[in-house]
Amino acid sequence: MIRPDVSFDRLAPTPEARDFAFEAKRAALGPHTVARRGWYEAFQRNSHEQRFRDTSCSRIMLKEQAVGTIALSAHVDHLRLNEIYLLPAHQEQGLETTILNVRLGQRW
């Protein structure tokens, strides 16, 4: 089911947008990374900054509230999901599937 309350705002290449995307990544992925190998801030920040420069990233909006980020890249014969990060309050509710259905149903 397509939800009209889910939308996407392409993030501009600004420090504020980059920081929002990093904080979404840290909130969604950080606890799992820490448990396995630790969160190395400088490494994570450098890796994120390079990926943010090289990949188109969008803010995921639910009812006009930012709930995470998604990055997709279009190729000749497929679409690649590079990353999707939801803030903890929005995880494990089936929202990821809805987001993918909505995003893949739009022109990229």
Per-residue pLDDT of the chain (108 residues), as tens digits, is 456 688 889 999 999 999 999 999 999 888 778 778 887 889 889 988 898 988 889 999 999 899 999 998 888 888 888 899 999 999 988 888 888 877 776 654
**CATH for the 6-105 domain, from 3.60.20.10, 3.40.50.1220, 3.40.630.30, 2.60.120.260:** 3.40.630.30
Provide the pLDDT for residue 108. Answer: 46
Provide the pLDDT for residue 101. Answer: 79
Gap between the Cα atoms of 94 and 74, Å rounded: 24
Gap between the Cα atoms of 69 and 60, Å rounded: 5
DSSP reduced 3-state for 95: helix
pTM equals 0.81
Gap between the Cα atoms of 3 and 63, Å rounded: 10
The residues near 25 (Cβ < 8 Å, ≥ 6 apart) are 44, 48, 69, 83, 85
